[in-house]
Copies of this chain bind each other. A is one copy, B any other.
Amino acid sequence: MGKLLIVGTLAFDAIESPFGKTDKILGGAGTFIGLAAAQFNVESAIVSIVGDDFNQEYLDLLSQRNIDLSGVEIVKGGKTFFWSGKYHNDLNTRDTLVTELNTLADFDPKVPDSFKDADVVMLGNLDPNIQLSVINQVSSRPKLIILDTMNYWMNHTWNDLLKVIQRVDVITLNDEEARQLTQEYSLVRAAEKIEEMGPKYVVIKKGEHGALLFHRKKIFFAPALPLEEVFDPTGAGDTFAGGFAGYLASTKNVSFENLKNAVIHGSNLASFCVERFGTERMVDLTFPEVQRRLEQFKELTQFNIEIE
Protein backbone atom coordinates (compact mmCIF):
# COMPACT_ATOMS: atom_id res chain seq x y z
CA MET A 1 0.00 0.00 0.00
CA GLY A 2 1.38 3.40 -1.03
CA LYS A 3 1.68 6.40 1.26
CA LEU A 4 0.19 9.77 0.33
CA LEU A 5 1.09 12.95 2.19
CA ILE A 6 -1.40 15.79 1.77
CA VAL A 7 -1.00 19.38 2.86
CA GLY A 8 -4.08 21.55 2.54
CA THR A 9 -6.72 23.49 4.40
CA LEU A 10 -9.43 22.10 6.62
CA ALA A 11 -12.02 24.84 6.54
CA PHE A 12 -15.52 26.11 7.00
CA ASP A 13 -17.24 27.07 3.76
CA ALA A 14 -20.49 28.96 3.28
CA ILE A 15 -21.79 28.67 -0.27
CA GLU A 16 -24.49 30.44 -2.23
CA SER A 17 -25.50 29.03 -5.59
CA PRO A 18 -28.60 29.34 -7.78
CA PHE A 19 -29.75 26.14 -6.03
CA GLY A 20 -29.60 27.41 -2.47
CA LYS A 21 -27.43 28.54 0.36
CA THR A 22 -25.54 26.74 3.09
CA ASP A 23 -24.51 27.64 6.62
CA LYS A 24 -20.90 26.97 7.57
CA ILE A 25 -20.17 23.48 6.30
CA LEU A 26 -17.06 21.32 6.02
CA GLY A 27 -14.70 22.48 3.29
CA GLY A 28 -11.04 23.09 2.45
CA ALA A 29 -8.61 21.71 -0.11
CA GLY A 30 -7.16 19.18 2.36
CA THR A 31 -10.62 17.82 3.09
CA PHE A 32 -11.61 17.33 -0.55
CA ILE A 33 -8.21 15.87 -1.47
CA GLY A 34 -8.36 13.47 1.48
CA LEU A 35 -11.91 12.31 0.75
CA ALA A 36 -11.10 11.67 -2.93
CA ALA A 37 -7.84 9.84 -2.16
CA ALA A 38 -9.72 7.67 0.33
CA GLN A 39 -11.43 5.98 -2.63
CA PHE A 40 -8.13 4.18 -3.28
CA ASN A 41 -6.13 1.61 -1.38
CA VAL A 42 -3.73 4.08 0.16
CA GLU A 43 -2.43 5.26 3.54
CA SER A 44 -2.79 8.99 3.67
CA ALA A 45 -2.12 11.82 6.09
CA ILE A 46 -3.29 15.41 6.10
CA VAL A 47 -1.05 18.20 7.41
CA SER A 48 -3.17 21.20 8.34
CA ILE A 49 -4.29 23.59 11.04
CA VAL A 50 -7.70 24.38 12.60
CA GLY A 51 -9.11 26.23 15.58
CA ASP A 52 -10.84 24.44 18.44
CA ASP A 53 -14.14 25.57 16.88
CA PHE A 54 -13.63 22.87 14.25
CA ASN A 55 -16.19 20.08 14.66
CA GLN A 56 -14.94 16.81 16.11
CA GLU A 57 -17.34 14.97 13.78
CA TYR A 58 -15.47 16.41 10.78
CA LEU A 59 -12.19 15.08 12.13
CA ASP A 60 -13.83 11.72 12.83
CA LEU A 61 -15.23 11.60 9.31
CA LEU A 62 -11.67 11.90 7.96
CA SER A 63 -9.99 9.52 10.38
CA GLN A 64 -12.68 6.89 9.77
CA ARG A 65 -11.44 6.89 6.17
CA ASN A 66 -7.98 5.83 7.27
CA ILE A 67 -6.58 9.36 7.03
CA ASP A 68 -3.84 10.08 9.58
CA LEU A 69 -4.55 13.41 11.31
CA SER A 70 -1.52 13.54 13.58
CA GLY A 71 -0.23 16.41 11.42
CA VAL A 72 -3.34 18.52 12.05
CA GLU A 73 -2.63 21.21 14.63
CA ILE A 74 -5.64 22.26 16.71
CA VAL A 75 -5.11 25.77 18.08
CA LYS A 76 -6.74 26.35 21.47
CA GLY A 77 -9.01 29.38 21.33
CA GLY A 78 -8.23 29.74 17.61
CA LYS A 79 -10.72 29.97 14.77
CA THR A 80 -10.70 27.76 11.69
CA PHE A 81 -10.11 29.20 8.22
CA PHE A 82 -13.42 30.39 6.75
CA TRP A 83 -14.35 31.01 3.13
CA SER A 84 -17.64 32.17 1.73
CA GLY A 85 -18.53 32.50 -1.95
CA LYS A 86 -21.43 33.06 -4.25
CA TYR A 87 -21.73 31.39 -7.66
CA HIS A 88 -23.22 33.15 -10.66
CA ASN A 89 -26.02 31.59 -12.65
CA ASP A 90 -23.75 29.70 -15.05
CA LEU A 91 -21.72 28.29 -12.10
CA ASN A 92 -18.52 28.99 -14.04
CA THR A 93 -17.74 32.16 -12.13
CA ARG A 94 -18.03 33.09 -8.49
CA ASP A 95 -17.44 35.99 -6.14
CA THR A 96 -15.60 35.51 -2.89
CA LEU A 97 -17.71 37.12 -0.16
CA VAL A 98 -15.52 36.45 2.87
CA THR A 99 -12.02 35.09 3.48
CA GLU A 100 -10.99 34.82 7.14
CA LEU A 101 -7.54 33.26 7.40
CA ASN A 102 -7.76 32.90 11.21
CA THR A 103 -5.36 30.13 12.38
CA LEU A 104 -4.16 29.64 8.79
CA ALA A 105 -2.29 32.96 9.04
CA ASP A 106 0.30 31.33 11.32
CA PHE A 107 0.35 27.85 9.82
CA ASP A 108 3.73 26.19 10.27
CA PRO A 109 3.23 22.70 8.83
CA LYS A 110 4.66 19.67 10.68
CA VAL A 111 4.95 16.48 8.66
CA PRO A 112 4.45 13.39 10.87
CA ASP A 113 7.60 11.22 11.02
CA SER A 114 5.70 8.23 9.65
CA PHE A 115 4.92 10.14 6.44
CA LYS A 116 8.36 11.60 5.76
CA ASP A 117 8.89 8.67 3.37
CA ALA A 118 5.61 9.21 1.48
CA ASP A 119 5.44 7.81 -2.06
CA VAL A 120 3.41 10.76 -3.29
CA VAL A 121 3.19 14.28 -1.84
CA MET A 122 0.14 16.35 -2.74
CA LEU A 123 0.62 20.06 -2.07
CA GLY A 124 -2.87 21.53 -1.95
CA ASN A 125 -3.48 25.17 -2.85
CA LEU A 126 -1.73 27.23 -0.13
CA ASP A 127 0.96 29.85 0.39
CA PRO A 128 4.04 28.62 -1.54
CA ASN A 129 6.18 28.99 1.60
CA ILE A 130 4.06 26.42 3.39
CA GLN A 131 4.31 24.09 0.41
CA LEU A 132 8.08 24.56 0.35
CA SER A 133 8.36 23.78 4.05
CA VAL A 134 6.57 20.46 3.49
CA ILE A 135 8.90 19.53 0.61
CA ASN A 136 11.88 20.30 2.86
CA GLN A 137 10.61 18.06 5.66
CA VAL A 138 10.29 14.98 3.44
CA SER A 139 13.36 12.80 3.96
CA SER A 140 13.57 10.43 0.98
CA ARG A 141 12.73 11.76 -2.48
CA PRO A 142 9.05 10.87 -3.12
CA LYS A 143 8.15 9.17 -6.38
CA LEU A 144 6.05 12.21 -7.20
CA ILE A 145 5.47 15.68 -5.77
CA ILE A 146 2.28 17.28 -7.07
CA LEU A 147 1.55 20.99 -6.74
CA ASP A 148 -1.85 22.62 -6.97
CA THR A 149 -1.87 26.39 -7.03
CA MET A 150 -3.91 29.38 -8.22
CA ASN A 151 -3.70 32.94 -9.54
CA TYR A 152 -3.70 34.48 -6.03
CA TRP A 153 -0.13 33.24 -5.44
CA MET A 154 0.97 34.48 -8.87
CA ASN A 155 -0.29 37.94 -7.94
CA HIS A 156 1.12 38.03 -4.40
CA THR A 157 4.07 35.66 -3.97
CA TRP A 158 5.47 35.24 -7.48
CA ASN A 159 9.08 34.47 -6.54
CA ASP A 160 8.15 32.00 -3.82
CA LEU A 161 5.77 30.27 -6.18
CA LEU A 162 8.51 29.88 -8.80
CA LYS A 163 10.73 28.24 -6.14
CA VAL A 164 8.05 25.63 -5.42
CA ILE A 165 7.36 25.06 -9.11
CA GLN A 166 11.07 24.25 -9.57
CA ARG A 167 10.87 21.51 -6.97
CA VAL A 168 7.79 19.55 -8.09
CA ASP A 169 7.12 16.82 -10.66
CA VAL A 170 3.52 17.71 -11.50
CA ILE A 171 1.70 21.02 -11.41
CA THR A 172 -2.07 21.35 -11.68
CA LEU A 173 -3.65 24.71 -12.47
CA ASN A 174 -6.49 26.04 -14.55
CA ASP A 175 -6.33 27.37 -18.12
CA GLU A 176 -6.36 31.07 -17.20
CA GLU A 177 -3.69 30.48 -14.58
CA ALA A 178 -1.49 28.63 -17.09
CA ARG A 179 -1.84 31.63 -19.40
CA GLN A 180 -1.05 34.08 -16.60
CA LEU A 181 2.00 32.11 -15.50
CA THR A 182 3.49 31.99 -18.99
CA GLN A 183 1.98 34.89 -20.94
CA GLU A 184 1.10 32.33 -23.63
CA TYR A 185 -2.47 32.06 -24.89
CA SER A 186 -2.02 28.63 -26.48
CA LEU A 187 -2.22 25.98 -23.76
CA VAL A 188 0.20 23.78 -25.71
CA ARG A 189 2.83 26.55 -25.59
CA ALA A 190 1.95 27.42 -21.99
CA ALA A 191 2.53 23.82 -20.93
CA GLU A 192 5.88 23.74 -22.73
CA LYS A 193 6.99 26.87 -20.89
CA ILE A 194 5.84 25.49 -17.54
CA GLU A 195 7.80 22.28 -18.16
CA GLU A 196 10.90 24.48 -18.57
CA MET A 197 10.22 25.92 -15.09
CA GLY A 198 10.58 22.50 -13.45
CA PRO A 199 7.61 20.12 -13.54
CA LYS A 200 7.89 17.10 -15.86
CA TYR A 201 4.12 16.92 -16.09
CA VAL A 202 1.61 19.74 -16.45
CA VAL A 203 -2.11 19.28 -15.81
CA ILE A 204 -4.32 22.12 -17.06
CA LYS A 205 -7.86 22.02 -15.67
CA LYS A 206 -10.63 23.52 -17.79
CA GLY A 207 -13.59 22.97 -15.45
CA GLU A 208 -16.62 21.70 -17.36
CA HIS A 209 -14.36 21.44 -20.44
CA GLY A 210 -12.14 18.75 -18.94
CA ALA A 211 -8.43 18.50 -18.16
CA LEU A 212 -5.26 18.20 -20.22
CA LEU A 213 -2.10 16.33 -19.23
CA PHE A 214 1.13 17.43 -20.94
CA HIS A 215 4.52 15.68 -20.88
CA ARG A 216 7.15 16.69 -23.38
CA LYS A 217 5.32 16.66 -26.68
CA LYS A 218 2.68 14.20 -25.51
CA ILE A 219 -0.85 15.27 -24.61
CA PHE A 220 -3.72 13.41 -22.96
CA PHE A 221 -7.21 14.77 -22.48
CA ALA A 222 -9.97 13.77 -20.05
CA PRO A 223 -13.39 15.33 -20.52
CA ALA A 224 -15.60 16.30 -17.64
CA LEU A 225 -18.59 13.98 -17.57
CA PRO A 226 -21.54 15.89 -19.04
CA LEU A 227 -24.08 16.19 -16.22
CA GLU A 228 -27.75 17.14 -16.24
CA GLU A 229 -27.07 19.52 -13.41
CA VAL A 230 -24.01 20.92 -11.69
CA PHE A 231 -25.07 21.80 -8.19
CA ASP A 232 -21.98 23.24 -6.53
CA PRO A 233 -18.50 23.34 -8.12
CA THR A 234 -16.76 23.97 -4.76
CA GLY A 235 -13.98 21.45 -4.24
CA ALA A 236 -14.11 19.97 -7.75
CA GLY A 237 -10.50 20.93 -8.49
CA ASP A 238 -9.29 19.58 -5.13
CA THR A 239 -11.28 16.38 -5.63
CA PHE A 240 -9.65 16.00 -9.04
CA ALA A 241 -6.23 16.44 -7.42
CA GLY A 242 -7.10 13.97 -4.66
CA GLY A 243 -8.26 11.32 -7.11
CA PHE A 244 -5.18 11.88 -9.26
CA ALA A 245 -2.76 11.70 -6.32
CA GLY A 246 -4.59 8.89 -4.52
CA TYR A 247 -4.63 6.65 -7.56
CA LEU A 248 -0.92 7.23 -8.22
CA ALA A 249 0.00 6.57 -4.58
CA SER A 250 -2.04 3.35 -4.58
CA THR A 251 -0.42 2.02 -7.78
CA LYS A 252 3.08 3.44 -7.10
CA ASN A 253 3.43 3.70 -10.88
CA VAL A 254 4.36 7.15 -12.16
CA SER A 255 4.68 6.35 -15.88
CA PHE A 256 2.97 8.69 -18.35
CA GLU A 257 0.53 5.91 -19.26
CA ASN A 258 -0.48 5.59 -15.61
CA LEU A 259 -0.75 9.37 -15.20
CA LYS A 260 -3.36 9.21 -17.99
CA ASN A 261 -5.38 6.81 -15.87
CA ALA A 262 -4.91 9.10 -12.87
CA VAL A 263 -6.39 12.03 -14.82
CA ILE A 264 -9.44 9.90 -15.61
CA HIS A 265 -9.82 8.85 -11.96
CA GLY A 266 -9.55 12.50 -10.89
CA SER A 267 -12.17 13.60 -13.42
CA ASN A 268 -14.42 10.72 -12.43
CA LEU A 269 -14.40 11.66 -8.74
CA ALA A 270 -14.81 15.37 -9.50
CA SER A 271 -17.98 14.53 -11.43
CA PHE A 272 -19.53 13.29 -8.18
CA CYS A 273 -18.29 16.19 -6.08
CA VAL A 274 -20.32 18.80 -8.00
CA GLU A 275 -23.62 16.91 -7.62
CA ARG A 276 -24.28 18.17 -4.08
CA PHE A 277 -23.24 21.02 -1.78
CA GLY A 278 -19.74 20.85 -0.31
CA THR A 279 -18.48 17.40 0.64
CA GLU A 280 -21.97 15.87 0.86
CA ARG A 281 -21.67 13.66 -2.20
CA MET A 282 -18.08 12.58 -1.53
CA VAL A 283 -18.97 11.43 1.96
CA ASP A 284 -21.63 8.92 0.89
CA LEU A 285 -19.88 7.76 -2.30
CA THR A 286 -19.56 3.97 -2.72
CA PHE A 287 -17.09 1.84 -4.65
CA PRO A 288 -19.71 0.42 -7.07
CA GLU A 289 -20.89 3.94 -7.95
CA VAL A 290 -17.34 4.94 -8.74
CA GLN A 291 -16.81 1.86 -10.92
CA ARG A 292 -20.07 2.40 -12.82
CA ARG A 293 -19.13 5.95 -13.62
CA LEU A 294 -15.69 4.86 -14.80
CA GLU A 295 -17.59 2.67 -17.27
CA GLN A 296 -19.41 5.82 -18.42
CA PHE A 297 -16.05 7.54 -18.93
CA LYS A 298 -15.03 4.66 -21.19
CA GLU A 299 -18.22 4.89 -23.23
CA LEU A 300 -17.78 8.65 -23.39
CA THR A 301 -14.27 8.57 -24.82
CA GLN A 302 -13.29 5.22 -26.29
CA PHE A 303 -13.70 4.60 -30.02
CA ASN A 304 -12.58 2.03 -32.50
CA ILE A 305 -10.91 3.38 -35.64
CA GLU A 306 -8.36 1.24 -37.44
CA ILE A 307 -5.46 3.38 -38.55
CA GLU A 308 -3.82 2.48 -41.86
Contacts and interface: CB of A to CB of B under 8 A. Distances in A.
A187 interface: yes
Interface string A217-235: 0111101001111100000
B305 A264 contact: yes
A303 B297 CA distance: 10
Contact of A90 (B185, B264, B298, B302): B185
A230 B186 CA distance: 8
A59 B159 CA distance: 59
Interface residues of A, number: 38
Given A210-B223, A219-B300, A186 B228 contact: yes
Nearest to A223: B221
A285 B299 CA distance: 31
A306 to B, nearest CB: 9
Contacts of A90: 185
A260 interface: yes
Contacts of A229: 186
A291 B265 contact: no
Q: What's the dominant secondary structure at chain A's contact region?
A: mixed
B298 A294 contact: no
A257 interface: yes
A57 interface: no
Contact of A264 (B228, B261, B303): B303
B185 A226 contact: no
Contacts of A303: 220, 260-261, 264, 301
Interface string A284-301: 000000010011001111
A212 interface: yes
Nearest to A186: B228
Contacts of A228: 186, 188-189
A304 interface: yes
